Amino acid sequence: MLTVPLIDAIYREPVSLWFLTVGLACTVTGYVLYKLVEHVGKVVEMSLLESMITYSLAWLLLPAISAVALSLESSIPYEDALFECISGFTGTGLTVMMGLDSTKRSILYWRGLMQWTGELGVVVFTAVFLPFFWRFGVILYSLERPTRISASLRETAMKIFYIYSLVTVLGIVTCVYLGVEPLDAAVHVMTAIATGGMSNYDANYEKVFQYAPLSIYPITILMIIGGFNFVTLSRILGGEFKRAWESEEFKAFIYLNITFMGISMLTVLPTVNWSLENSLLYGVFNALSALTTTGFSIGRLGSMSDHVKLLLTLAMFIGCMSFSTGGGIKVVRLVILCKKLKSYIVSFLTGGTVSPDIRLGGDVLDEREVANALIYIILHLSALLVGASLVKAIVPGVDMVDAVFETTSAASNVGLSVGVISAHAPLGVKIVLMALMYFGRLEYLPLIAFTGLLLYRKYRVFITR
């Protein structure tokens, strides 16, 4: 928050006093509380349930505080500022702000910074600043094999931070070289690598593409990199290409990208007068944006056919690789689902005499790990369908395909929109999408924590361990 006034100084614009005030208040309050905690006494490791509750509340508190500064500085209703901040910190990219082309540049910078820090914070900042979270991080990413890049989670977190920062700097330099304005380059690169998708313009990335068309190449590469598992990305940057290709999830992600690019190009081709160039722009780019859960768009998605919308919805639902900045169910869970389906079919055809193990990365997954993956898929599907039904009930005139598209975009933290959400949307629609963004980003952890509280008395001994 304290960097926002610095952008004002650089561009010689009025200082964002509310960001300065709220930022200083947070800094001073945090420092005082930190010193008070030091004198409380013995510090003990938090239980798993306490960690889950703290983590869940923090992701509500951070946008809520940030929304105060954004609301007062931009003169927009608090609920709209809260929507923007939840969308920003969860890396979703849906927006209710209007007139972005003329918005103060420090506010545009803040929107990009929210996504950059928010997405990185999911897998890095919690591990660096909250020691009790290290063990919980392993549980969150139990399907990663291995979860670590280095010897410890702290070293892993710092290495991810360095990789993230390096790719961001290289992306900004490349985009500026290709003709993108410095602030546009910084914001779009931050939101591309964070698979966030917030832009400085009402027309989204299309405006940047119009004045700097070559920027589509680094932006596309950054979107794909943002969808990589950080373990895989670390191996690629280290020249371990063969080892990276051994990852089943990485292979599946690459094949899914190729598949969706091909299908989207063929689907869009008849709607753009059989123009190959336009099919690449309006089909392939948007499909990659959906699958990597970035949210950049070219063209008006609301005017596209239902076939294209459903294709993009499927891509958003799947999402990218686990242990990345992206959303969706994650490719690893799709791989597990396919393997489980194959195992069931073989077992059924052999009358139960043959039941193949479900392997991932050479390891046999136990039933708990498989069940976790399948339950999450069911939770995610249920959430977006319930959300779509609520949106349809609040705004009966909305097409169901559009409602499902919008709720999938929110729950998978994508940011693509067909026009259902805007500053003029009913408050109920905004609340539904905010809830989906929040639960989707935290992979429904708050629901699990709440259920844990209900079961606390019955299973107290086990939950507090």
CB 311 within 8 A of CB 267: yes
HSE-up (13 A, CA, CB side) for residue 264:
29
What number of other Cβ atoms are within 10 A of residue 377's Cβ?
18
Q: Quickly state the pLDDT bin for 427 (edges 50, 70, 90).
A: very high
Cβ-Cβ contacts under 8 Å for 57 (sequence gap 6 or more) = none
pLDDT of residue 19: 97
Cα(107)–Cα(105) distance, integer angstroms? 5
Predicted confidence (pLDDT) at residue 24 exceeds the cutoff of 90: yes
Report the Cα 122 to chain-centroid distance in Å: 9
Q: Quickly state the pLDDT bin for 463 (edges 50, 70, 90).
A: low
Q: What's the Cα-to-Cα distance from 253 to each of 283, 361, 440, rounded to whole Å? A: 18, 15, 20
Predicted confidence (pLDDT) at residue 73 exceeds the cutoff of 90: yes
Going by C-alpha positions, the residue among 297, 74, 284 that lies closest to residue 188 is: 297
Q: Quickly state the pLDDT bin for 276 (edges 50, 70, 90).
A: confident
Cα(213)–Cα(180) distance, integer angstroms? 9
Predicted confidence (pLDDT) at residue 131 exceeds the cutoff of 80: no
Cα(109)–Cα(186) distance, integer angstroms? 8
pLDDT, tens digit, 9 for 90 and up, residues 227-261: 998 878 888 988 999 989 988 999 999 999 999 99
Cα(73)–Cα(180) distance, integer angstroms? 27
pLDDT of residue 256: 96
pLDDT of residue 429: 97
Predicted confidence (pLDDT) at residue 264 exceeds the cutoff of 50: yes
- Location of structure tokens 């499902």: 404
Highest mean pLDDT among 3-7, 30-34, 245-249, 461-465: 3-7
Averaged pLDDT for residues 20-43: 88
Cβ-Cβ contacts under 8 Å for 28 (sequence gap 6 or more) = none
CB 144 within 8 A of CB 323: yes
Predicted confidence (pLDDT) at residue 456 exceeds the cutoff of 80: no
pLDDT of residue 384: 95
pLDDT of residue 279: 85
Predicted confidence (pLDDT) at residue 314 exceeds the cutoff of 90: yes
Averaged pLDDT for residues 335-346: 92
Q: Quickly state the pLDDT bin for 6 (edges 50, 70, 90).
A: very high
Q: Tokens standing for 147?
A: 């979860």
DSSP one-letter string for 133-145: HHHHHHHHTTTSS
Cis-peptide, bond into residue 182, ω within 30° of zero: no
pLDDT, tens digit, 9 for 90 and up, residues 138-189: 444 433 333 455 556 667 677 778 888 999 999 999 999 999 999 999 999 9
CB 337 within 8 A of CB 251: no
pLDDT of residue 134: 42
Q: Quickly state the pLDDT bin for 465 (edges 50, 70, 90).
A: low
Residue percentage of the chain with pLDDT more than 90: 61
pLDDT of residue 362: 75
pLDDT, tens digit, 9 for 90 and up, residues 356-391: 888 887 778 888 778 888 988 999 999 999 999 999
Averaged pLDDT for residues 22-32: 95
The conformation of residue 271, written as its DSSP 8-state character, comes to G
Residue percentage of the chain with pLDDT more than 70: 89
Q: For the packed helices 248-268 and 306-318, what is the interaxial angle rounded to 10 degrees?
A: 170
Cα(336)–Cα(426) distance, integer angstroms? 39
Averaged pLDDT for residues 185-209: 95
Going by C-alpha positions, the residue among 43, 115, 138 that lies closest to residue 437 is: 115
Averaged pLDDT for residues 93-110: 95
Ramachandran angles phi, psi of 72, nearest 5°? -70, -35
pLDDT of residue 459: 57
